[in-house]
A and B are shown apart, each in its own frame.
Chain A
């Protein structure tokens, strides 16, 4: 993968900001990705973390759901770990976004509402992941298709 060299303007901007923000900006400037915006995997990463958190809460609050949602929590945590590892590797400048804490979800009102909310979220992850797997780089396509497929499977389990 080629790393574009930073333009003179972005170097100047980085130098000016260095005083204020310290090491985080050094990493961004060194990498030359500061102007690229978020990595495309950050959205599926956030979705995986949110699903894991929701499945965990649902399993704790509603014992009748525990057996069905515990594997979902485990799988979505594994997805988040794999996606985070790829973003960290490809975009060290996005470490702060990757390491941002997840807001714990409010427990849904009922067991049925929890299962339905989780299923809806998994279907959305299946569809968004499938789209991304079609247009992303080759080496990311397999991972995205795999994540989308697991979400499809768990949506089926909760359906």
Chain B
């Protein structure tokens, strides 16, 4: 039976989404040291969602006999992270990267399970992104077309 990763275009998009999820998990860990106590609940929920998406992508790769891309030991942040605002700004970048990567997956697969994961990921990125944009002072708080650069 044909698997969702048989096509190299789909496979590359899935690996890029996995890379973005790895980076998001790492970013959530770093941000937890700086965000205010009132935002820690939202952050841990979001971190859990990213870990679940990462794990399901790893499982998908393994089922398709594709070696999943590994997480980096650390990531270079676009700007120094040293307070709540800069931590939230990092999360905005991480969420936007996930939305872009998952949108690319959506346009490269007909697999219903992968489509559902992708839609949920893009929606979740824009939803939690509102809070991180507010904390970091990023406008607008909702991108008009999430997942687009």
Q: Could you tell me which A residues sit within 8 Å of B by CB distance? A: 71, 74-75, 78-79, 82, 126, 130, 133-135, 138-139, 141-143, 145-150, 152-154, 156-157
Contact = CB atoms under 8 A, between A and B. Distances in A.
B140 A71 contact: yes
B126 interface: yes
B104 A150 contact: no
A145 B107 CA distance: 10
Given A145-B103, A150-B142, A130 B123 contact: yes
Nearest to A138: B107
A71 B142 CA distance: 9
Interface of B: 99, 102-104, 106-110, 112, 115-116, 118-120, 122-123, 125-127, 129-130, 140-148
Given A138-B106, A141-B107, A150 B145 contact: yes
Secondary structure dominating the interface of B: helix
Contact of B119 (A71, A74, A148, A150): A148
A75 B145 CA distance: 8
Nearest to A132: B119
Nearest to A75: B144
Contact of B147 (A75, A126, A145, A154): A145
B126 A142 contact: no
Contacts of A154: 142
B146 A141 contact: no
